[in-house]
Structure formats: C-alpha cells, structure tokens
Amino acid sequence: MFSRRQFLKGALTAGAAGLIADGVFFEPRRIVVEKKTVAINILPQVFEGFRICQLTDIHHSPFVGIKFIEKVVEEANTLKPDLMVLTGDYVDDSHKYIEPAVSALRKLKSPNGIMAVLGNHDHWAGAELTKDIFNKYRVHVITNNNRLIEIKDKAICIAGVGDFMEDNQDLKKAFQGVPSDMPRILLSHNPDYAEVMPKNERVDLVLAGHTHGGQVRLPFSIAPVTMSKYGQKYTGGLVRLANTQVYVSRGVGVVGLPIRFNCPPEITLITLTRDARKV
C-alpha cells in the first residue's frame, strides 16, 4: 500500500513529467491561427476586408524541422490571404539552414506575393546570404524600403525596417515617396522599435515578432522571459500606442530551450477595416 505522502509525490512527479512532455513534444507542433481585425480609419473602401497573413520566427534548426515548416506553409495557404508577410528569424544561427527554410517559405501563395524583413538571427547566420536566397526565389526583402499594393486607383503601402538589434532603421527612407494620406503598414522584426519610432512619419500598423510570446507562459499569461525591454507588453497580440498600433505574433519556431508551454506556434491572419466598430 502507498502512503498518502508517496501517492502525492508520485502524482506530482507524473504531473510534472506530463507538463514537460507537453511542452517539448506536443505544444511546439500545435499550430494556432490567430485572427485579428485591425482598424485603419483612412483605409480606402476597396481595401475593406483585405487580409494579411504573417509568419515570423521560423527558426529552422535541429529542433524545427523542414517538414514542420512545410506544414505551416500549407496551413497558411489554406487561409487564402491577399498578402503574405514574413517578419524575420527564418533560421537559428547556422547558415546551412537558410536555403531550406527560404525554399519552403517561397511556396506561400497570395495574389500580392510575399514581402519580408530580416531578424537578429538572420544577421547572425548571414544577412547577405539570406537576402540573396530570398531574391533568388523572388521574395521581396523590403529593408528600409516599401512596396505599394494597388486596387483600382487606390493603394496601401507595405514598408519594412532593419532589425532593431543588428541593423539600421530608416523610417523616412522606408516611406520615401509615399503620399501622406496613404495607409502605412510597417514590418519590424522587433516590436521594441515602435517605442522609439520617429513620430513625424505616420505608421498605421506595425507587424512584429521576436518575443515568441515568451515560449513559456505561466497562469494569467505571464511570460518569465520576454526578450523585450518592455516586459509583458509585447508578448503577443495587438498593442495600441499613442501614435500607432502593433501586432506581435508568437511566431512559429523555438529558440534556446526547444519548449513551448501555454504558448503555441502562431499563424497570424490580419483583416483590415476602416470601421473601428468591427474590431
């Protein structure tokens, strides 16, 4: 017969083992599609309902295999968005993973193509090589640059800046030539950039990643590690600032410990609206 103490000890041990198994083997592969409607009050009527699919922090490595990335791409394609955007960290730190990761991501499909910026890990693995491979596969890297998406005689601007840790951010250059009354969406790997972004360049929405949602979230969604100077603020979801709004994705892969707990991988689907009542 087990004593009460032995029983409780065994139950706690089994429970802890179960949580560890979930965090290592199950949750890192449980892809969740997060759908969010975001209001931009100057959005042209023809862009009402325009949908942007965001993938970030892929981190192809021994812990994030190519078959899993291909599964993410397949699921993203089923959403049939109007635009695909990638917000950095496609590999961990080794250059040997760059070509396979980008080769898988190039299979993303949308009528307006794929636009991308780089993250800090892409710089550590090889920024120029990453850009070259994206160019090879005709994926637009828009570091401190922009592209316009046009419907009929109206347009929105998708711009990007360099990584906040490892590159330069030139917001003025990113929006060079863009009319002041055109909606502006900015790709920035690191959400912390939104805190220091020049206020003389209007940005309607920032799409970011980098924080992984913390990878591990305790009760009440508290992440012990956030990879952000601003604590819990940018662990995930839509954050409204005085001068802009920032959507932070939890990302796809893992870095450091190959664990996710209460923080599953994310495919983001943003729907644009001009009517704040729809948010």
Give ∠ CA 156-101-134 in degrees, rounded to 5.
Answer: 45
Rg (alpha carbons) of the chain, rounded to whole number: 20
CA-CA distance, 166 to 172, in Å (whole number)? Answer: 19
pLDDT of residue 11: 30
Q: Looking at the predicted structure, is the pLDDT value of residue 19 above 50?
A: no
pLDDT at 277: 80
27-31, 42-46, 206-210, range with the lowest pLDDT: 27-31
Distance CA 266, CA 33 (A): 6
pLDDT at site 15? 31
Residue 206, H or E segment: strand 205-208
pTM: 0.90
pLDDT band at 10 (very low <50, low <70, confident <90, very high): very low
Task: Find all residues with CB under 8 Å of 97, minimum gap 6, and list them.
Answer: 60, 61, 90, 91, 125
Computed over every residue of the chain, the mean pLDDT equals 91
169-224 pLDDT, tens digit per residue, is 999 999 999 999 999 999 999 999 999 999 999 999 999 999 999 999 998 889 99
The confidence band for 276, taking pLDDT boundaries of 50, 70 and 90, is confident
Alpha helices in 137-188, H assignment, sequence order: 171-174
Residue 24 pLDDT exceeds 60: no
Q: What does the pLDDT look like over 64-103, one tens digit per residue? A: 999 999 999 999 999 999 999 999 999 998 999 999 999 9
